[in-house]
Structure 1
Amino acid sequence: MPQLPAPDYPADVRARLEADAREVIARYPDSRSALLPLLHLVQSEEGYVSRTGIRFCAEMLDLTTAEVTAVSTFYTMYRRKPSGDYQVGVCTNTLCAVMGGDAIFDELKQHLGVGNGETTEDGKVTLEHIECNAACDFAPVVMVNWEFFDNQTPDSARQLVDDLRAGREVEPTRGAPLCTYQQTARILAGFPDERAGAVEATGGAGHASLAGLRLAKGETGPGRVVSPRSAGYPADEPPATHPSSHDAPHKTSASDPKHPSGPVTEEGEE
């Protein structure tokens, strides 16, 4: 049975979205390059990329709905069904997982009564596991609408989702103030971030991430070698050899006693 054409937006919504879309398209030399931000734009309207949104993007960019669908289903940042106001993503990549991310994810699934990619009955929270978000030094990390909540535990994550569902104010560990998923989608479409304090805030590298950079710039003292082999000398006195010096390559004659050549001298002569 053939599928019915996707419905269109109401006239007032269509007019508003067309004005926004033309502004986005004008930023690119080739109109089809605007597809990704336009998908964020329609997602900001309905909270996901609907058939109506796909039709709108196709008409604005002179593409087929198949071409738009192929892109919208390729990227995980585009939702394919109605979801919650807050996307709660638990990093379950390697470091976050071993630091407790798996435990947090399991706790939230049980506490919220939902599985991966599912939404609570009140429509507030969509839970999903996410890949690395480059915040490994703050593991385990939970993200709400792509804002960072660092060094989480099962208890703190449970309190976080309870606060979100109750409408209580929640502040990210760092970065801009929290907003709804639809508001986040509009920002990702390329429109000004109007949240109070968003311009001053930074969601970039935190203090732990920048420790190596400060060390390289000489802004802090050199690191101290800490090794299980260090027990035999005082903490303020380095060992005579590097802790891994026993792993260094030996001279051929020393590493293979059966080798016929004699020991090599400092001058390279036998």
Structure 2
Amino acid sequence: MIPLLQSAQETYGYIPEKAIHYISELVGIPAAEIYGVITFYSQFRLKPLGKYVIRICEGTACHVNGAKDIVGAIQDELNISVDETSEDGLFSLLSVACLGCCSLAPVIMINDETHGNLTSDKTKKLLKKYKTLETQMKGN
């Protein structure tokens, strides 16, 4: 079942309800049990992620250097909490154990770009830059 769930997530970017029901019929396991497997493993998602996936490092170096403040700045700027996606579908905020950039703590990744030595103000400016970019792209 796990490979089927991985395949569905790879196809859709998350596991939609229709995929759960299809897999349920295919393997003869109730949808509720499949849902239980999905929610047990952190690799699976039941909702699509935003265009910009923000990963906040919660490792020791980031934690002691203000990761909590960075999360607060992101929440203030985007009005989302960890494991949520903004209403416009642009931003998702995920917490990760470590990004492996301890010398740059606190660190976030936005998609594949690493941003370190952050403060609340730097974080808000960075997010505003992404918002401005989106506004400009919609205008063209």
Q: TM-score range by the shorter chain?
A: 0.7 to 0.9
Instruction: Work out which of the residue numbers 41, 53, 76 in structure 2 matches 1:87.
Output: 53
Q: Which amino acid aligns with 1:117?
A: D
Contact 2:9 2:45 in 1 (8 A): no
Displacement of 1:161: 2.2
1:134 and 2:103 aligned: no
The aligned residue for residue 12 of structure 2 is 43
If each structure's helix is expressed as a fraction of its own residues, which one has the higher value? 2
Alignment gaps of 5+ in structure 1 = 1-31, 169-270
Greater Cα radius of gyration, structure 1 or 2: 1
Q: Distance between the aligned counterparts of 1:33 and 1:75, measured in 2?
A: 10
Q: Distance between the aligned counterparts of 1:68 and 1:88, measured in 2?
A: 28
SS in 2 for 1:81: coil
Task: Within 5 Å, give how 1:33-112 maps onto structure 2.
Answer: 34-44=3-13, 48-60=14-26, 62-64=27-29, 65-112=31-78
Alignment gaps of 5+ in structure 2 = 135-140
Instruction: Work out which of the residue numbers 148, 151, 165 in structure 1 matches 2:116.
Output: 151
Q: Distance between the aligned counterparts of 2:126 and 2:21, measured in 1?
A: 37
CA deviations on 1:178-209 (whole Å, 9 max, x unpaired) are xxxxxxxxxxxxxxxxxxxxxxxxxxxxxxxx
If each structure's strand is expressed as a fraction of its own residues, which one has the higher value? 2
CA deviations on 1:113-164 (whole Å, 9 max, x unpaired) are 222223323221122333223332332221224x241424133322332233
Displacement of 1:104: 1.0
Instruction: Work out which of the residue numbers 122, 125, 140 in structure 1 matches 2:88.
Output: 122
SS in 2 for 1:56: helix
State the percentage of identical aligned residues: 29
Let me know the Cα RMSD of the aligned residues. 2.6
The alignment's TM-score, normalised by the length of structure 2, stands at 0.73
